[in-house]
Amino acid sequence: MIIKMKKVSAIISIFVITFLLSIDSYAQGNRERIIENRIAEAVEKYSARDFDSASAILRSIIATAPENDAAHYYLGLTEFCLNHMDAAEHELAEAVRLDPGNYWYRYRLAMLYSATDRKELTAAMFEELLKDFPKKNELYYSLIELYMSQGQTEKALGTLTQIETLFGADEAVALTRFDLLRRLGRYEEAYGSLASFSRENPSPQVLSILGDYQMSMYNDSLALKSYDEALSLSPDYAPAILGKAETFRVTRRYDEYFPLVRRFIRSREISPEGKGDYLTNLFRRADPMFLKTFSTELDSLMTDCISVHPKDSSILMAAGIYYYGTGRAQEASGYFQENMRLYPESLSATANYVELLMYTHSWTELSSEGRKAYRKFPSEPAFLEMASLADYNLGDYRKVLGICDTVLAVCKGDSLKTLNAYTTMGDMYHQLGENKKAYQAYDKALGINPRYVPVLNNYAYFLSMEGKQLKKAYAMSKITVEQEPDNPTYLDTFGWILYLQGKPLEAKPFFKHAMLYGGKDSAVILDHYAEVLYALKEYDLAFVYWMQAQARNDGEIEGLDEKIRQRKSEMNR
């Protein structure tokens, strides 16, 4: 009976042990599943760019499971995105320590070294990765870039040879070698290597590059041969079509040029962006005689392009540039407006139209459209500046001041824009005859930049016009001529202040210098110089300059004719 009880006890003990082990195994598996789910949750947060939440989840996992390499890895990526480079490096290095055979752990650590500009560590990591993962193509190209950045050209070329040995010669390798050799200034060798590759592996891209090279060497027949070979492989390959067309244009074979460009324009296989870029560059760099001589053909090209892509932004922009460049501002305006209407969220489309209004001096429209553009793109105060220019030309100085107030409110911390705003305010208050406010604005501008010569000159000149604070005006104006000794406007201001201080002899050399650098084009400067000469009793020369001032005076100097008559009468007394 006792023996039987012992057997039962033994059976129960075995059962209990087995049961407890199964519970522990189940708990362990359940714990691992919980961790996996938590990591998945963190990855979701990471993918949604909620890096703070992802970091918090991953750190809580690592606190309970410090040997979980995946948690360290994803925490490293998260800290990298938060720009916590030291923490990112620590976590990625820990992931590598825990699982040194994992390619991605090591690769991401290498990329962190690269991002923190530690080229030697990056190269060493890539070199080690290549030993373990020799088939990873992208590592070779990364190493090539690193070697080139370190000036290790031979290593870069050697790595390229490794790629060829392992993967065979292909276009990517050939183009990379071509680029490497060109960077080294070994142009003949670069094109030679490309030509050698092309003989065995012809491709449209390589043949087009070789055609461009031959054209740069003025070998137009060889260039055309390469382009034709490229087009035989791919009839719509845009670089080959354009290369061939440009060869015809440069060699003045226009009867062959225009049909080929028309083929390029009409092709629906070629992107409208490529067409727009080509036409825009053509119009901008072409000499006026070409545009005038072939206006009919160019108009036809533009019409064809618009008919193929009537709503494409790059084509509408090219049309606007073309018509403006050929003196048809109204047509240009229509295309720019259409582009803006179709793409209301496009900054460039809006900017093109607003700039056209500025170039055509359409001040009323510019005042309105500049403000509309700023409301649409409030991070671009340049639109307000263009509206301000329009208001100034319309004589609405109060509106200009309103824009300056807006710029000051939205550009706090931007010293350049604030400086320009205060400068403009000073100028506008002067135009309105409110000199006290003008000087207050200038003082604020000089508080930002005490040596800002446009403000120093205007401030000094306006004080001199009032005959006030001439010592202060002298000190400010002196800085302007020291900084820009050949600026006729600044020389005039300084010379005039000297004259007002009763120093015409000291003033004369500054006016003489101003005459050499454009002063003769200004009625005001000529008048001032004449006054100085008159004070020095150099009467004949004074009247020479007064006659020149009369010829250039467009109402800027009121009463100039009467003043000259008075001076003459004074001489005859």
Read off the pLDDT of residues 55-73 as tens digits, 9 standing for 90 and up: 999 999 999 899 999 889 9
Residue-level pLDDT at 159: 79
Alpha helices in 432-503 (DSSP H): 435-448, 453-466, 470-483, 488-500
Residue-level pLDDT at 104: 87
Residue 9's pLDDT band (cuts 50, 70, 90): low
Residue 173's pLDDT band (cuts 50, 70, 90): confident
Please, are residues 357 and 389 in contact by the beta-carbon 8 Å criterion? Answer: no
314-332 average pLDDT score = 94
Residue-level pLDDT at 11: 53
Q: Does the pLDDT at position 573 exceed 60?
A: no
Residue 144 CB neighbour total at 10 angstroms: 23
Please, are residues 96 and 106 in contact by the beta-carbon 8 Å criterion? Answer: yes
What is the tens place of the pLDDT at every residue in 410-429? 888 899 999 999 999 999 99
278-282 average pLDDT score = 91
Residue-level pLDDT at 472: 96
C-alpha to C-alpha distance for 162 and 276, rounded to whole angstroms: 41
What is the tens place of the pLDDT at every residue in 286-307? 888 888 999 999 999 999 999 9
State the number of CA atoms in the 13 A half-sphere of 367 facing the CB.
14
386-397 average pLDDT score = 95
Residue-level pLDDT at 3: 45
Which tokens go with 351?
A: 């900017």
Q: Which residues of 517-553 are buried (b: 16+ CB within 10 A; e: fewer)?
A: eebbebbbbbbbbbbbbbbeebeeebbebbebbeebb
The least confident of 115-119, 264-268, 403-407, 522-526 is 115-119
Q: Over the chain, what is the mean pLDDT?
A: 89
What is the tens place of the pLDDT at every residue in 540-562? 999 999 999 999 998 889 899 99
Residue-level pLDDT at 14: 55
* 414 or 21: which leads in pLDDT: 414
Residue 2's pLDDT band (cuts 50, 70, 90): very low
Q: Does the pLDDT at position 23 exceed 70?
A: no
0.75 exceeded by pTM: no
